[in-house]
Structure 1
Amino acid sequence: MTDYIAFCGLDCEQCEARIATVNDNNDLRAKVAKEWSKLNGVEITPDMINCVGCRLTGVKFPYCQSMCEIRQCALGRKVETCGDCHEMNACSKLSQIISTNSDAKRRLEGK
């Protein structure tokens, strides 16, 4: 599994926030901020769109850095991903992702 796979199984390498960050693309940051603001019902500004990936050292999107319950749990349990946790299939936090994203679930189960 690559380092770009988030704790929850999402692929950070494909995330437009990460792509905007590594390419320093302000137009893409603005596009992502607008989309995520609408999707989440909160104001997200282009300057917030900076992230290198959930499990990589470096800048994170503010939600991912400190508010993502999945990331905080995995860090606390010191697991590489949620696929290493014996409670993965019963986790109410993770179910929000893996119940609607079969690719994320497959990545975690493939460990």
Structure 2
Amino acid sequence: MKKIIAYCGLICSECPVYIATQTGNEELKEQLARDYSTDTCKFEKNDMTCTGCHSINGVNEKMCVDCPMRKCGMEKKVSHCAECNDYPCQYIEDYVPIESDNRKVLEELAKQSKESDCR
């Protein structure tokens, strides 16, 4: 599967919800709904559908449709937040902790982008 990166640095192609959607694995969706549910936020199997945040159709209403990074990235027409001239912006600071895997992905992408700009 091609490596797909969300605006926030999440590697979609490694995400179990994305994989379950792409493979049609309904049992995995049921398990993920149980695993991701909390006392304050309950997920159902149907909530575990994701076609990636770059997708126009099929974006999960409960998880991603209102994501401010997704909205901003789409408006700025970037592939991920590290491509943005404003990176790291307040959205990144608020939602993607510096020690998170997603932030490490974005930092590496930003570094690669700067290196290619110097050539």
TM-score range, shorter-chain basis?
0.7 to 0.9
Paired residues of 1:17 and 1:29 also in contact (CA < 8 A): yes
2:8 aligned with 1:8? yes
CA distance in 1, matches of 2:49, 2:108: 24
Q: Deviations over 1:52-110 (max 9, x none)?
A: 2222455222221x211100111112222211211112x12112225122432234313
SS in 1 for 2:37: helix
SS in 2 for 1:32: helix
CA distance in 1, matches of 2:29, 2:42: 13
Unaligned stretches of 5+ in structure 1? none
2:90 aligned with 1:92? yes
Paired residues of 1:21 and 1:52 also in contact (CA < 8 A): yes
Segments of 4+ moved more than 3 angstroms: none
Cα distance, 1:25–1:47 mapped onto 2, change above 3 Å: same
Which is greater in Rg?
A: 2
Give the residue type in structure 2 aligned to 1:108. Answer: L
CA distance in 2, matches of 1:47, 1:23: 14
Cα distance, 1:107–1:58 mapped onto 2, change above 3 Å: farther
Superposition map of 1:65-104 within 5 A:
66-89=65-88, 91-95=89-93, 96-99=95-98, 100-101=100-101, 102-104=103-105
1:32 positional shift: 1.2
Could you tell me the TM-score, scaled by structure 1's length? 0.80
1:24 positional shift: 0.9
Could you tell me the TM-score, scaled by structure 2's length? 0.76
CA distance in 2, matches of 1:35, 1:21: 16
Unaligned stretches of 5+ in structure 2? 114-119
State percent identity of aligned pairs.
25
Aligned CA RMSD, in angstroms, stands at 2.2
Give the residue type in structure 2 aligned to 1:92. Answer: Q
Give the residue type in structure 2 aligned to 1:74. Answer: G
